[in-house]
Amino acid sequence: MAQAIVSARAAQPFGSVASVVAVNGVAEVRLQQLFTAAKTGGYVGATCSGNPSPESGQRERGPQRRQ
């Protein structure tokens, strides 16, 4: 992925975060990193795919934050 970012930058400067995310593979890798961190932190279950669970009809929920 790093090489893809370097190659894209060599072709044209990045004008926004969106232009970095548009590089092939960047968004997919970042989403996987976020999912892994959320799962490790207990905010989503192992079966979470971002869709409601067919068994419960609801999304999985992680621990509630205290205010």
Contacts of 52 (CB under 8 A, 6+ apart): 58, 59
pLDDT 10s digits, 11-35: 999 999 889 889 998 888 888 888 8
Share of the chain above pLDDT 70, in %: 70
| Segment 37-57 mean pLDDT | 70
How many domains are contained in the chain?
A: 1
Instruction: Return the pLDDT at 56.
Output: 43
Q: By residue range, what is the domain housing residue 12?
A: 1-67
Task: State the average pLDDT over residues 30-50.
Answer: 83
pTM of full prediction above 0.85? no
pLDDT at res. 31: 86
Residue of 64, 32, 60 whose CA lies nearest to 48? 60
